[in-house]
Structures are given as structure tokens and as C-alpha cells.
Amino acid sequence: MTLRTIDPSLLERSDAALASVVLDRLGLDTTDTFPVNDPATEQLIASPPNHSIADALTALDRADRAGKAWARTTARHRSDVLHRAYGLLIEQKDRLALVITREMGKPLAEAYGEVQYAADYVRWYAEEALRPSGNYRENPVGGSTILTTRAPIGTTLLITPWNFPMAMATRKIAPAIAVGCGAVVKPAALTPLTTLVVAEIFVEAGVPEELIQVVTTKDASGFSRALMSDERIRKVSFTGSTGVGSVLLAQAAEHVVKSSMELGGNAPLLVFDDADLERAVEGAVIAKLRNGGQSCVAANRILVQSGIADAFVEGFTERMRAAVLGNGLAEGVTLGPVIDDRAVNCFTRLVEDAVAHGAELRLGGSAADGAGHFFEATVLDRVPESSEIAQTEIFGPIASIARFDDEAEAIERANSTPFGLASYVFSENVDRAFDVADQLDAGMVGINQGLVSNVAAPFGGTKASGLGREGSGEGLEEYQEIRFYNLARR
Ligand code: NAD
């Protein structure tokens, strides 16, 4: 693969954006560091502090202290601060997008999209902070009035993955702050830089310096156990793999810490014979290639009804072929690098295994030579259920297509996974679309579209995809504790 030329002034601006990141926001003068590399070039781009467990506990002291004072501020004040933060995030979108692309790899246009999406959570929770959240009931047998209120839960531990380094951070930080909680935030070791910029901008907007404590560590094991065994942590919100989520849930269970878990997915995308072909192809490409397929809601199993299958596969393959692979900073690139070498090796293995089991390789299938972690947009058709790719979360630019004959078979296959995050249905028959959607065991269903996420929607999954919801009003409640007052009445 030959890299497209990168505008030197853009490279210079992205270097300046990286240089502007304050790596040691905790100011603990930690001498140990770890490397953060650009996945497109494998070059070192920053060396943030490798905070120890003792550092994390210092961060907890501060977030807890600041959180207690913050909880006593008015909702109007917190809302105003969040509105200011939204304005500043948008004002600094160039800087944020460049940092996202350099540390995570996604094409710059998608990084701008993430900045807007991430900032939208901040604006949404600036507004939600003001909505009434109490309740009033008369005791049914008389004698008292019951008032229900929602109080901030206390200090929170927020752990985020590398694939959406900004959106996953604001989706947790904004509701926590909106209701009056402090936060210890641990971004993924592969992409800690964006979170550091976000924290800086929150402080610029008026969030107390100590309220959001960003702990950067290379090795997270041990860290969450130490924090969760401290009784001041009252809530853990995690986005990442199901394996790590289970470990965290066990730790949370030991100390009875309220938990939200946004975990892995294995989204089915169902295309019925009566789908609008153009719409289905477009939706499937978006659901597959957004973020290079490195998304928990990515279409992981594309299931197409036999009558439309040949036309769909042809149209879909042509659209996948149009993806332009390269450094996310280069003009015209629509598919960036994947996150690391481990991912590239895994994709090579998955494609080989699928072909060995009888799948037809229609497009791509290979890693690119040279520096950077690149894998081609790939289409596999007639993928048998016995192949590994039909069972696993791919998390990359490989489309796995299989065919089905009738509705019952489609639903049965769609649900035959331990996961239940997103799913997609394409059919022009409204009755069928809703009927099938009702029977899918998933937290989210995209109907005739390949994008499900929205700040106003309760994002989250069923089964091994997690517990709790983020975004919408439901996302706010995850950071609140219910309390009632029972007032005696004559
Ligand atoms: P990961 O589970 O490896 O890591 C996520 C975070 O957990 C990172 O910050 C990591 O450093 C930290 N971590 C790892 N081990 C830990 C431990 N023992 N204790 C505490 N923290 C620990 O996941 P990833 O590779 O960063 O992200 C990819 C996964 O995330 C995929 O499975 C994807 O589906 C999932 N994901 C889910 C959602 C969702 O909303 N459901 C969104 C994005 C990603």
C-alpha cells in the first residue's frame, strides 16, 4: 500500500496539537512513563506518566474532596459550566480531532464527527441537569406522604476503551458532573491523550481543578481492585470488553459498588428480500466501516435473505471497494489503520479460517506491508457458522456475510450469540420490520439505517453486552441514588 500524501501543514498542526497536551495533569511528578504510538506510523507520539496505585489513590482523595463540594452547587451552576464546556469543546474541535486521529488512527473527518458526538453528550447533560427528577406519592392507606428524590451517588470510577477516546469519556464524565459527582477517569493505555485534553477543557469551563482526575496507567490490573476496595468509590462505569467487564463486576460485587457495563457486541444486520437495496447497502457499509469496524455496534454478522443476496453482495462489495485505506490525516482517506499489530494478526487468522471453512473471499483479506497497522476492507460471502469469524466480535474492517431463507431462521440466527448490544433490520414492510425488531434480543435496533447511537437514546445492551444505559435521561440516573422521605400526616 502506498500512503497518500499528507499535507505538511496538517502534520505540523497535529504535532502542535500533541505537544499542547499536558501529560501530567495530576502533577504528581511520576517519573515512570509509557509510550503512546501513532497506529498509522508506529511512531512514538507521547510518553504520559505511568501512574501507580498510590497515585490513583491520591487522585481519589482529590476527586472525593472536590465532589463533596460540587454536590452542593446548584443544578443551574453545573448546567452553565457544562454548557460552557460544550462551547469550548466545539471551539477547540481542530485540536481535539487531530489528537484523536494521531493516537487512535481514524480518518480526520470521522474524528471531527466524534468531537461533535462527544460534545453533544456534554450539551445534552447540561440540559438534563435541570430536569426535575423527584416524585411524590400519597401513602395508599393514608397517614403519610412519600417524597422521592435523587441524590448524587458519590465518587465515580470511569474506565474507557480506545476506540472512541473522546465520546466514551464525555458519555460518562458529563452525566457524573451534571448530577454532582467527582470522577477518577482511566482512559485506555493506547489512547490516553484525548481524555487529558477533554479534562483540561472542562477545567477551563469552570469545573473545579480536582473534580476530574485522569489517571494514566499502562497496566490497569490491580488499579481497579485498589480503587474499588476504597469505600469512597460508589460507582464504576466501564466500557470495554466483556472479559474485563466480568472481572470488574466481581470486584464491584465484593464491595457492593453500583455498576454500569457497556461491553462487547456481535451485531446481526438482517436484510430481507423486501428491503430497499440501495438503503440496505448504504446502511450496511456505514454499520460495518464506521471507525474502521472498530465499534461495539459494528455490523458483525450480515445476514441476507436468499432472494436479494446476490444483488446485495454485489452492491455492498463495490461500496467496500471504494474505501480508501491510509493514514487518517491524508486527504481522501476513508479507512484508517487498525489499532495495533495484534488486531492485524487476528484479522489475517480469521480470514484464513473462514476461507478454510468454505467462505468466499470477495474483496481484500490482507494486511498492508510496511509501517503502520493496516488491513484492507474485506468482504467474505457465504460464511459458514462453523468458522470462527461467525462467532466472534471482529472489531475490524471485515464484513462477514451469510444467507438465510425465512424470517424465523433469521431471528434464530441473529439471537444465537451470548451478546445483545446492537442489531439492524432492513425491510420496507413496516409490520415486518417492527415485528422482527421486537424479537431481537438486543438493547438497540437500527431500522433501515446503519447508525444507532444518539445522545437522546439509552445506549446499552442485554446478555453479555452489559448492564445499565448511557445517554438519554436513563444515563443520568446511573449516577444517582434514590432516597425517599416519608412525612407523617394527620
Ligand atoms: P478492554 O476491555 O481491553 O479495555 C477497556 C479499558 O479497561 C481500558 O481502559 C483498559 O486499560 C481497562 N482495563 C483492562 N483491564 C483492566 C482491569 N483488569 N481492571 C481495570 N481496567 C482494566 O477493551 P478495549 O480493547 O479497550 O475495547 C474494545 C472492547 O470494548 C470491545 O469488546 C468493544 O465491543 C467494547 N466496547 C463496548 C462499547 C459499548 O458501549 N458497549 C463501546 C466501545 C467499546
What DSSP letter does each residue of 175-241 carry, written as one string? Answer: HHHHHT--EEEE--TTS-HHHHHHHHHHHHTT--TTTEEE---S--TTHHHHHHTSTTEEEEEEES-
Taking alpha carbons only, the member of 472, 373, 469, 391 closest to residue 43 is 373
CA–centroid distance, residue 281 to ligand 1 (Å): 30
160 CB less than 6 Å from ligand 1? Answer: yes
For residue 137, count other CB atoms closer than 10 A to its CB.
12
- Residue 17 identity: A
Decide if 262 is catalytic.
yes
4, pLDDT greater than 80: no
- Between CA 414 and CA 289 the distance in angstroms is 20
Cα–Cα distances in Å, from 61 out to 24, 332, 387, 475? 17, 47, 49, 25
User: Taking the CA of residue 247 as centre, how many other CA atoms within 13 Å lie in the half-sphere pointing to its CB?
Assistant: 12
Cβ-Cβ contacts under 8 Å for 305 (sequence gap 6 or more): 271, 272, 273, 403, 404, 405, 406, 410
37 CB less than 6 Å from ligand 1? Answer: no
Q: What is the pLDDT of residues 124-137, one digit of tens each?
A: 999 999 987 789 99
- Between CA 307 and CA 298 the distance in angstroms is 24
- Which protein residue has the closest C-alpha to ligand 1 atom 18? 221
Q: What is the pLDDT of residues 330-388, one digit of tens each?
A: 999 999 999 999 999 999 999 999 999 999 999 999 999 889 999 999 999 999 999 99
* Interface predicted TM-score (ipTM) of this complex, two decimals: 0.94
Q: For residue 3, name the pLDDT band (cuts at 50, 70, 90).
A: low
263 CB less than 6 Å from ligand 1? Answer: yes
Q: Which helix (H) or strand (E) holds 115?
A: helix 108-128
Q: What is the pLDDT of residues 410-456, one digit of tens each?
A: 999 999 999 999 999 999 999 999 999 999 999 999 999 999 999 99
CB 154 within 8 A of CB 142: no
Taking alpha carbons only, the member of 308, 122, 323 closest to residue 207 is 122
Looking up cell 497518500 gives: 4
